[in-house]
A and B are shown apart, each in its own frame.
Chain A
Amino acid sequence: DAGVIQSPRHEVTEMGQEVTLRCKPISGHDYLFWYRQTMMRGLELLIYFNNNVPIDDSGMPEDRFSAKMPNASFSTLKIQPSEPRDSAVYFCASSLQGDTGELFFGEGSRLTVL
């Protein structure tokens, strides 16, 4: 399997613009997670899905953030409008059901909002 695939790898945009990050999880994985990583706050969970259904979005910072998973092989994280404080690396991860303790991370999308 190719692993978790994220795009774009790097995005530079201006404040106020819409940003869409994309993720393809590993085929057959039941869970999909969106994490954000910054120096100040570390790895924070934004939202996660189980079988395409959002389970917990309490980590989504504000209404400017939204995430969807229209099918088992695709998810998006959208920020509209973007702000400089949204600059971070956004990771998508997927996992199998069960007590394995293992998440498979994508390479991340590094977002810079000017």
Chain B
Amino acid sequence: GQSLEQPSEVTAVEGAIVQINCTYQTSGFYGLSWYQQHDGGAPTFLSYNALDGLEETGRFSSFLSRSDSYGYLLLQELQMKDSASYFCAVPNYGQNFVFGPGTRLSVLP
């Protein structure tokens, strides 16, 4: 089966950089996704890494190391609106995604 680990909470100040780590154990690996969820909202897709390395999308970047079964989400120039929960997820033999427990990010003024 699949299991993922993330820190439960992270706190940072506006303008700072924060990294949210994710380690996973899978019986077959296809890629690592990241989702953002604001309180009361739905998860929304941020990024997907199928290959090793860094993918950049604006202020957000995502990194994957398949040999280490590890990835992270990097958020730069933090804004108050980035306060949310962030989930890593891996496909379970294809399209069925298993989600990590989530990391609650609090951005302070």
In the complex, which residue of chain A has the Cβ closest to the Cβ of B97? A103
Main secondary structure of the interface of B (DSSP, over half): strand
A42-B101, A42-B102 given as contacts; is B96 within 8 A of A102 (CB)?
A: no
- Chain B residues with CB under 8 Å of A43's CB are 43, 87, 99, 102
Task: Tell me if B45 and A103 are in contact (CB < 8 A).
Answer: yes
Task: Tell me if B96 and A33 are in contact (CB < 8 A).
Answer: yes
Complex alpha-carbon distance, A101 and B71, angstroms: 15
Task: Tell me if B48 and A48 are in contact (CB < 8 A).
Answer: no
In the complex, which residue of chain B has the Cβ closest to the Cβ of A31? B95
Least CB distance, B109 to chain A, in whole angstroms = 27
Central interface residue in B43, B95, B97, by most chain A CB within 10 Å: B95
A43-B99, A55-B96 given as contacts; is B33 within 8 A of A101 (CB)?
A: yes
What bracket does the count of chain A residues touching chain B fall in? 20 to 34
- Chain B residues with CB under 8 Å of A35's CB are 99
**CB of B30 closer than 8 Å to a CB of A:** yes
Task: Tell me if A101 and B31 are in contact (CB < 8 A).
Answer: yes
Task: Tell me if B31 and A48 are in contact (CB < 8 A).
Answer: no
Complex alpha-carbon distance, A65 and B30, angstroms: 30
A residues bordering B, Cβ < 8 Å?
31, 33, 35, 42-43, 45, 48, 50, 55-56, 91, 95, 97, 99-108
